[in-house]
A and B are shown apart, each in its own frame.
Chain A
Amino acid sequence: MIVDGARTPFVRAGEDLRSVPVDELARSCTRGLLDRVPFDSTHVDELILGCVAQPPNCANPARAVALRSGLDESTPAHTVSRNCASGMQAISDAYDRIRVGASDTVLAGGAESMSQIPILFPLSFGFKLSSLSRARNFAEKLAGIFHFKFADLKPRIGLLEGLRDPFSGEMMGDTAERLAREWGISRADQDLYALESHRKAVAAEETLQREIIALAVPPRLDRVVRHDVGPRPGAKLEKMARMKPYFDRKMGSVTIANSCGITDGAAMLLLMESAQAKSLGLKPVARILGSAFVGCDPLRMGLGPVHAMAALLKDHDLELADIDRVELNEAFAAQVLACQAALASDQYSREVGFSKTPGAIDSDRLNVFGGAIALGHPVGATGARLILTLARQLHAAGGGHGIATMCIGGGQGGAVLIEGIPS
């Protein structure tokens, strides 16, 4: 059972939330969530946090979140990572823990501060530093100092390294370019899709705002961040069309405007065993039915959702047509459109395991409140945000089935099936 959830505002990296560490992002919305749900937080059995770039000074951010949001010292907490789907993984794990009876109440979600991913020195710098520290006399020290080269100081941007496929060395955007080429997705279609994402998010602002817990920026609390900054009410197609492709400057079609934003944010959900929720008198918004994670070609990681949905639907004997709402993460407009094309392709859908061609998802069922192109994609948090948004919209719609699904860097797809509970 998903009792309730909450998230921080999603803010472009380097802006208002840049000084907020990842554990504080998650703590702030956890505390807001605990304040909001009328139950005693001593009932929480554990906390699971999805996070990709776990900060060097806080090896298990989940534990910091648990302690700082006022949970009992005895409440265990761990951090999980499945790259872009870390938040989804945390919720899937929480669901499993509840299903096997290990826990009754779990706080699960994800958080990412993309602003605070460190800049790294090359390892050669570290090696030379450690040999210098072992120098015994002046001559050795001098020699050690002269060993340093300028190349040793060349920084590596952690953020960019993280967005690179570790097997092929390609950037995530390059994999999207490949899908655009293979599935014949034009630049104009991508821009149009991106514009639609902004339009939907702007239209749904009021609904989205109800997910958000305002965050006061520590340590001086002099700024309170209350709103997402991603959605642009004034987004124009002509303006988008003028942007240069970012990844493939000459031939490409993927631009900053039709990709997801690099963002800071966190989202947390309160999951409970149904009898527990009942005995505490709580009114859950949705029920999790299952999850699936499937591997695929790392160079075509964008198609992961098609693989994952196929597996998930098969497990539950459902057709894609039975699903009322789909939240498919918008890593790139090209990637979403490629998924749509793959779902409509007889050959590809058969290959991934659909028994009959499901066809593309209608736009009134897909990402109805916009997606990561408008809101941004704090990698660890997005999976949890998708499920949060999906659960609340199904709840408001009076029930129905929904899937939250996303592509995962390194060639995987993840999907979670939930059922809304009418109020």
Chain B
Amino acid sequence: MSQWKLIRSSSWNQAIPDPDPTGRWLHLIIDAESSANVLSQTVLEDLSQRLDQVPEFAGVEALIISSAKNGHFIAGADVKAIGSAKNVDQVNDACRSAQDLFGRLSRLSIPSIAVIHGTCLGGGLELSLGCTARIAIEDPRTRIGLPEVNLGIIPGFGGTVRMTRLLGLRGALGWILPASRLPAKVAHRKGVVDASVPVEGFRTLSLQLIEKMVADRFRKVKAQRKKRRKGLISYFLDQTALGRSIVCRQATKSVRARTLGHMPAPERAIEVARLSAHLSEKMALVEEAKAVSRLATGPVCRNLVSIFQDSERVRRGVEGQPEGVWPDAKQLIVLGAGVMGSGVATMAIEKSISTRLRDISEDAIDQGLKKIGDAVDSRRKKRRITTYQQAEILSRLSHGKELVGLERCGGVLEAVVERLDVKRSVLAEIAPLLAKNAIFATNTSALSVTAIQKDSPVADRVVGLHFFNPVPKMPLVEVIPGEFTDPQVVGIALSLARKLGKYPVIVKDSPGFLVNRLLLPYLDAASRLLLKGLSGSHIDEVARAHGLPMGPFRLMDEVGLDIGVEVQETLHSAFGDRAASSPILLKMVQKGWLGKKSGIGFYHHRGKSSTWNRQLDPMVQASPSTLPPAQIISSLLDPMVDEAARCLEEKVVADAGLLDLAMVMGTGYPPHLGGPLRAADAEGLSAIEKRLRAAHESGAARSPCNLLVDLASRNERFHTHS
């Protein structure tokens, strides 16, 4: 089956137009065999053959490129191929030939116009950039962008070069660096497409536009593009070497501030874009392909692609997971208007779920509503939503002390105080009223779901749904089926989490679930280093430099030390000495130092600034000492790797990929390292095992677990195929 269709026609009123041997238009229509239009090797080869046939059609006036799939143009290059790229020369050749193929679109005897309806990302946009002109359809599904840097590469099918030549250096970097996906109108305003057309009857409208463009030989389109780049400042910054170096220096600075130098792709993108601004297109394309081939075969790209693939797996549904659908028309009732409850309610109303916020205290409701109102209002201030949309979002919310609506809701999300007796009494109160198919999701970070649901008449409908704070920012949700949970309920919970825009990972009902259980050894290791006399703020800096979003002590202050102690005690009683609580934390909590919320913890918090809490020093008996950064990092992360291996052993989570994803999405573990297990694989397990063993021999309670010892002895990895 062919991936592209070439049809000569005189009209355009359906996806595949009626052929007409005397028609004025030549339609090149992509309809890949796969469910998404992906620019795989076969699709590109087929495109090349089609382009060879174009000269056979004498008398046609333009080549119109579109997709036969409704609301989906081209999703981009083949991610799997990028992730498995090994050979630099192979990648280079592939990029060169794609660059040349897309370049041919503008060198045909007739002009080529891409009509973009739906997703047009990465390679899809690069193909369009090769065309003479582009038209975008104003459909909410139309998203145009170059997300390559998110995968650790740069646009390599000519996108970096052609974007720079179209928009100038600043314009191109504005598309490539943020990797954003923009709707049709914005793309038009920013000059990437030459026109945007309303979706109703877009084929007729586009054809009219194309007719006009062809008639005036694209003079108007070209004039428009020129006008956008007029002006003295524009000339200076884009056309002079000095201006370009200023732009690049600024861009590099802001990229470094964000990535701390861990991500090579944005910096390469800046270099290639700068070269494309003054080199000839041909030479610039060579540089682009060179840069991509080096990036694509590097570890960062491999890790980012793996994380991306795992996240897609989770978003679409991991094979063998229970299925279920959250009922769209039904209400979600959130119990508890605290930080978590109001956070989930915010997500729900933004994602079109009618929500009722209920709390037993009016004060709590007031606070919760204020948080929701502020969160939605800040989106309006950032112009993400209009005032009309804001009113619509808020109208989905109702609130009150009364426990009403249970008999026809889709589900209840309980986010009350983290105490077993409270949670059980809430469940008991709700059980007789709960609608027949509604789920009862409990947001707990440490309590056992089985203990909560036990003996309840609706035990089968109780499921754990562990959100992370701050809810709108943290993409992970741990879904925890208890012993008595119906698989279908798990399916509905997964569907609800996805509807809320989250990535749900199923985790076994065991103490600390997954993320907290893995975080704790890391935090504990940090306080042990502190007790050995190391400087706490230095440990935080080293962790930051390693790519972690926050050092361990800052993280504890953020979460709250009292919560830390609580989780620690749960884990200590479950796992024994290796999870023993660090004495310093307990002492601090006794003093009322709870972290950010009390203004003092490991740091003094004043407004936005914070300084290390000097009063801690007397608590540390050891004399000040230092360790090289690499050693600090390994003492922090080794226990986490061991605990992660134990989680795999105990089947807390289905596979290593999901574990890594959960840590990236739930704690901000640096994605360029690919998650704790991939990072461990890269370092070599035997080194880690040796260090842990040495630590154990010198007095640490933790000894490396069987799986780790086993894999290390056989020189194997957690991730079998990568």
A277 to B376, CA, bound (A): 38
Does A68 lie within 8 Å of B370, measured CB to CB? no
Decide if the interface of chain A is mainly helix, strand, loop or mixed: loop
Contact among B369, B370, B376, B400 with A32 in the assembled complex (CB-CB below 8 Å): B400
B residues within 8 A CB of A39? 408
B369-410 with Cβ < 8 A to chain A: 369-370, 372-374, 376-377, 380, 387, 390-392, 394-400, 402, 404-405, 407-408
Whether the Cβ atoms of A218 and B391 lie closer than 8 Å is: yes
Chain A 55-80 per-residue mask, 1 if CB under 8 angstroms from chain B, else 0: 00000000000001110000000000
The answer to whether A221 and B405 have CB atoms under 8 Å apart is: no
Residue of B nearest to A213 (CB): B400
Does B115 have its Cβ within 8 Å of any Cβ on chain A?
no
A69 to chain B, nearest CB (A): 7
Give complex CA distance A38, B409 in Å: 10
**How long is the Cα–Cα vector from A166 to B100 in the complex, in angstroms?**
79
Task: Find residues 36-54 in chain A having any chain B CB closer than 8 Å to their own CB.
Answer: 36, 38-40
Contact partners of A15 in chain B: CB under 8 A: none
**Is A216 part of the binding interface, using a Cβ–Cβ cutoff of 8 Å?**
yes
Q: Which residues of A contact B365 (CB under 8 A)?
A: 224
Residue of B nearest to A39 (CB): B408
Chain A window 208-231, contacts with chain B (Cβ cutoff 8 Å), 1 for yes, 0 for no: 000001101011111010100000
Contact partner of B373 (CB less than 8 A), chosen from A35, A69, A222, is: A222
* Residue of A36, A40, A68, A224 with most partner-chain B CB within 10 A: A224
Q: Write the A19-36 contact mask toward B (1 if CB under 8 angstroms, else 0).
A: 000001001000110011
Residue from the set A39, A214, A218, A220 with the largest chain B CB neighbour count within 10 Å = A220
User: Does the CB pair A226–B373 fall under 8 Å?
Assistant: no
Evaluate contact between B377 and A38: CB separation under 8 angstroms.
Answer: no
Does B244 touch A at the CB level, under 8 Å? no
Q: Is the CB of B395 within 8 A of A27?
A: yes
Which A residues touch B380, using CB under 8 A? 219
Query: Which residues from B are CB-within-8-Å of A70?
Result: 354, 395-396
The reply on B356 being an interface residue by CB < 8 A is yes
Contact A219–B394 (Cβ < 8 Å): yes
B392 cross-chain contacts in A, Cβ below 8 A: 68
B contact residues around A69 at 8 Å (CB): 395
What CA separation (Å) do A220 and B371 show in the bound complex? Answer: 8
In residues 226-257 of chain B, which contact A (Cβ within 8 Å)? none
Interface residues contributed by chain A, number (CB under 8 Å): 22
Cα A39 to Cα B404 with chains together (Å): 11
| B369 close to A68 (CB less than 8 A) | no
Per the bound structure, the CA–CA distance linking A31 and B356 in Å amounts to 10
Check A38–B370 contact: CB distance below 8 A. no
Tell me if B366 counts as interface (CB < 8 A to partner A): yes
A222 contact set on B, CB distance < 8 A:
369-370, 373-374
Cβ-defined contact, A31 with B398, below 8 A: yes
| Nearest-CB residue, chain A, relative to B407 | A38
Given contact pairs A35-B404, A38-B408, A68 touches B395 in the complex (Cβ within 8 A): yes
User: Does B93 sit within 8 A of A, measured CB to CB?
Assistant: no
Question: Which of B356, B373, B387 interacts with A221 by CB under 8 Å?
Answer: B373
Could you tell me if B377 and A220 are in contact, using CB atoms closer than 8 angstroms?
yes
Beta-carbon nearest neighbor of A37 in chain B? B404
Within 8 Å CB of B399, what residues of A? 214, 216, 224
Verify if B429 is at the interface (C-beta below 8 Å from A): no
Asked if residues B356 and A35 are in contact (CB atoms below 8 Å), the reply is yes
What CA separation (Å) do A27 and B394 show in the bound complex?
A: 11
B362 adjacent to chain A (CB < 8 Å): yes
A40, B400: Cβ atoms under 8 Å?
no
Q: Is the CB of A221 within 8 A of B372?
A: yes
CB distance from B535 to the nearest CB of A (A): 42
Q: With A35-B404, A35-B405 in contact, is A216–B369 under 8 Å at CB?
A: yes
| CB nearest neighbor in B for A214 | B400
Inter-chain CA distance A213–B394, complex, in Å, is: 16
Specify which of A24, A31, A32, A221 lies most central, judged by the most chain B CB atoms within 10 Å of its CB.
Answer: A221
Q: How far is the CB of A133 from chain B (nearest CB, A)?
A: 27
Within 340-378 of B, Cβ neighbours of A (below 8 Å) are at 354, 356, 362, 365-366, 369-370, 372-374, 376-377
CA distance A227 to B634 in the complex (A): 60
A43 to chain B, nearest CB (A): 11
Write the B404-426 contact mask toward A (1 if CB under 8 angstroms, else 0).
11011000000000000000000
In-complex Cβ contact of A218 among B373, B405, B407 (8 A)? B373
Is there contact, CB below 8 Å, between B369 and A224?
Answer: yes
Q: Are B376 and A219 in contact (CB under 8 A)?
A: yes
A40, A214, A221: the one contacting B394 at CB < 8 Å is A221
A220 with B395: CB separation less than 8 A: no
Residue of A nearest to B366 (CB): A224
Residues B372 and A35 in contact, CB atoms below 8 Å apart = no
A219 CB contact (under 8 Å) in B391, B400, B407: B391
A39 to B435, CA, bound (A): 12
Q: Are B408 and A220 in contact (CB under 8 A)?
A: no
Residues of A within 8 A of B398 (CB): 31-32, 35
Q: How far is the CA of A224 from the CA of B361 in the complex (A)?
A: 13
CB-defined contacts of A35 to chain B, threshold 8 Å: 331, 356, 398, 400, 402, 404-405
Chain A residues within an 8 Å CB radius of B400: 32, 35, 213-214
Residues of A within 8 A of B387 (CB): 219
Q: Closest CB of chain A to B403's CB: distance in Å?
A: 10
Determine the distance from Cα of A216 to Cα of B362 in the docked complex, in whole angstroms: 12
The CA-CA distance from A222 to B394 in the complex, in Å, is 13
Report the bound CA distance from A39 to B405 in whole Å: 9
Known: A214-B399, A222-B370. 16 other contacts (CB 8 A): A35-B331, A35-B404, A35-B405, A38-B404, A68-B395, A216-B369, A218-B390, A219-B380, A219-B390, A219-B391, A219-B394, A220-B377, A221-B370, A221-B373, A224-B365, A226-B362
Instruction: Enumerate 12 A-B pairs (CB-CB under 8 Å) in ascending A order.
Output: A35-B398, A35-B402, A68-B391, A69-B395, A214-B399, A216-B373, A219-B391, A220-B370, A221-B394, A224-B365, A224-B369, A226-B362
